[in-house]
Structure 1
Amino acid sequence: MTYVKPTDLVTDLITAGETKIFLSTRDTIVRSIMGGALLALAAAFAVTVSVTTGIPLLGAVLFPVGFIMLYLLGYDLLTGVFVLAPLAWLARRPGVTLGGVLRNWGLVFVGNFIGAFAVALLMAIVFTNGWSTPPNEVGEAIGHIGENRTVGYAEHGAAGMLTLFVRAMLCNAMVATGVVMAMVAKDVPGKIMAMWMPIMLFFFMGFEHSIVNMFLFPSGLLLGGDFTIGDYLIWNEIPTVLGNLVGGLLLVGIPIYVTYGRTKASRAGRLPRAQRIRRGITTAPASVVDTTAEAIVDVPTDSAVPTR
């Protein structure tokens, strides 16, 4: 299997972020709708597996299929562009502005919500036999998820909000790692294996993912969950979006950029020449290698967007 070294990976990440920022409004919306829809279907699948088998771990093991499908097809998630788009801005790619980053985030948020909510409506029909019967056991479980992860947090006040925010941070630490890992391989099997691990981890740990919640909580409301739209927005979606942003940037994007995109000169250059030879260091790095310099590179398959 192929392996892309981190020093090369950071340039691919920056280029992917740049091309997403310059993508047309229509294409950004379409790809975001499909990304939200596929992830929502995967969430419905994982909950169904967990409820019908009584084995939550099995649901978590299988949930990554949705994430893998959408990234192999080049679709977008808000949690992914939270990391990719800012890297292009930090690298000062020509024409990339903070306004462009915010525009990308806004469009992807809207598209993801449309896709996830559409699946919530369709699955509510499935769970209730076209609204003719009470929700089945899976529908009831989704309703309880909405209650526990909104009203449940509210019962703890500020401590509940802090817990929600931290869970959202940790979630996108894993999801953003999955986005990055999708680019460490050039072949499909390698990409699948690399993406699978962090996505399985976040789902089983019950971390808060803003796009998954765009499906779970509207579904819960449609299926009779005992919470309100206000509960959903204040005690889940808004803090989750902010936590996903902070976690993706601080725990994944910025560390990768700082250590590989702005690499400092090696300390080996300070050693006497004789010691460098004994240690097998034939040349000493003379300057910082800037891997963010403009270069002609292939856009990784995960971005699946045309260059300018």
Structure 2
Amino acid sequence: MSHPNPAPQPPAPIPAVHVNALNSAETEEAVESAGVSKTKQSKSVTFILAMFAGVFIGFGALFYLIVTCDPAMTWGPKRFVGGLAFCMGLVLVLCCGAELFTGNSLMASNLAARRISLPALVRNWVIVWFGNLAGALLLVALIAGAGTMGLNDGLVGDAAVATAVSKVTLAPGTLFVRGVLCNILVCLAVRIGFAARSVADKVLGVLLPISGFVAMGFEHCVANMFFIPVGLAAKAMGYGAGVDGVASLSVQGALYNIGVATLGNIVGGAVVVALAYWYVNNHKPSRRPRG
């Protein structure tokens, strides 16, 4: 007995491909959803991901030192090229997955939206801050053992010392404001990363904000968790002896810089960017009649 041919099946729908970046409201939702997920991670996972971020930002900082130690480069191009090199750190954080303290300042919008509690926010920030520090210090130890400070006839080591000295000798007010300005740009770059549809979008989107904050000399607490300790290590190895103010480079100076920069970064990221965008995207226009 013959069977009739089965009826043809309609073709499977072709999934829509979205190429436009998320708008501001959609980006805010993506930021807040990610913030909720961060509070649900185990402490060990959060700490390991934070260590990754400390290492990644440290790689970007080391890249900066290597490309800016050439004395033949003039000041402007050196700052620009160094800023582009430093971008590698945030590209790795956004594309590979890691927990960065400065970027997690955006979680303040979750708190404002009552999607997370204050203890959950503080717990995440504390774990991530110390995880970033542990990752940065681990990379410093590895770099010291790798002999990287001796590259270019020791100019990399000299640059490490000079960069660290320039950071620990900043006045408190200047350091704080530079921390605020830094994390405004960093958190805007992170928002671009959330708005992006592809890896290429993420990479291109972060280049200008991150290279800009580096070129402008702003202060990033996680980057300084690498810059200053590696400067201390280079000083201990005999580099940078001729750098003006090298005597001020100490553990106390490192704690001072990182502490004040952290406070500035919190204000810049949590208040200026996170809370402002939360308000903008949740503000309801007044219904009162004009007259």
Band the TM-score falls in, shorter-chain normalisation: 0.7 to 0.9
Match of residue 117 from structure 2: 97
Alpha-carbon distance between aligned partners in 2 of 1:247 and 1:217, rounded to the nearest angstrom: 22
Alpha-carbon distance between aligned partners in 2 of 1:82 and 1:56, rounded to the nearest angstrom: 26
Aligned partner letter, 1:22: K
Alpha-carbon distance between aligned partners in 1 of 2:222 and 2:52, rounded to the nearest angstrom: 12
Deviates more, 1:37-46 or 1:141-150: 141-150
Alpha-carbon distance between aligned partners in 1 of 2:128 and 2:255, rounded to the nearest angstrom: 18
Match of residue 159 from structure 2: 141
Q: Deviations over 1:60-115 (max 9, x none)?
A: 1222122112211121110011122x22221112xx21111110001101110111
2:225 matches 1:207: no
Correspondent of 1:73 among 96, 110, 114: 96
Which aligned pairs between 1:209-248 and structure 2 lie closer than 5 A?
Answer: 209-224=220-235, 226=247, 227-234=249-256, 236-248=257-269
Alpha-carbon distance between aligned partners in 1 of 2:68 and 2:90, rounded to the nearest angstrom: 18
Q: How far is the alpha carbon of 1:121 from its aligned partner?
A: 1.5
Contact 2:149 2:156 in 1 (8 A): no
Structure 2 regions of 5+ residues with no counterpart? 1-18, 236-245
Question: RMSD between aligned alpha carbons?
Answer: 2.1
Match of residue 175 from structure 1: 186
Aligned partner letter, 2:258: E
Match of residue 187 from structure 1: 198
What fraction of aligned residue pairs are identical, expressed as a percent?
A: 28
Q: TM-score, normalised by structure 2?
A: 0.82
Q: Deviations over 1:243-269 (max 9, x none)?
A: 000111222111100001x222278x9
2:28 matches 1:17: no
Correspondent of 2:132 among 101, 112, 115: 112
Alpha-carbon distance between aligned partners in 2 of 1:24 and 1:83, rounded to the nearest angstrom: 20
Alpha-carbon distance between aligned partners in 1 of 2:88 and 2:228, rounded to the nearest angstrom: 21
Aligned residues: 256
Runs of 4+ in 1 over 3 A off after TM superposition: none
Q: How far is the alpha carbon of 1:270 from its aligned partner?
A: 5.8
Structure 1 regions of 5+ residues with no counterpart? 154-159, 272-308
Contact 1:38 1:66 in 2 (8 A): yes
Alpha-carbon distance between aligned partners in 1 of 2:214 and 2:55, rounded to the nearest angstrom: 17
Q: Deviations over 1:108-129 (max 9, x none)?
A: 0111011111111222232356
Aligned partner letter, 1:66: G
Alpha-carbon distance between aligned partners in 1 of 2:20 and 2:127, rounded to the nearest angstrom: 33
Contact 1:2 1:187 in 2 (8 A): no
2:266 matches 1:259: no
Contact 2:228 2:254 in 1 (8 A): yes
Contact 1:2 1:190 in 2 (8 A): no
Match of 1:75, SS? Answer: coil
Match of residue 45 from structure 1: 63
Q: How far is the alpha carbon of 1:2 from its aligned partner?
A: 2.5
Alpha-carbon distance between aligned partners in 2 of 1:100 and 1:128, rounded to the nearest angstrom: 40
Correspondent of 1:6 among 13, 24, 34: 24
Match of 1:265, SS? Answer: coil
Alpha-carbon distance between aligned partners in 2 of 1:66 and 1:147, rounded to the nearest angstrom: 22
Q: TM-score, normalised by structure 1?
A: 0.78
Alpha-carbon distance between aligned partners in 2 of 1:203 and 1:76, rounded to the nearest angstrom: 20
Q: Deviations over 1:191-219 (max 9, x none)?
A: 22212221111111111000000001011
Aligned partner letter, 1:61: L
Alpha-carbon distance between aligned partners in 2 of 1:190 and 1:202, rounded to the nearest angstrom: 19
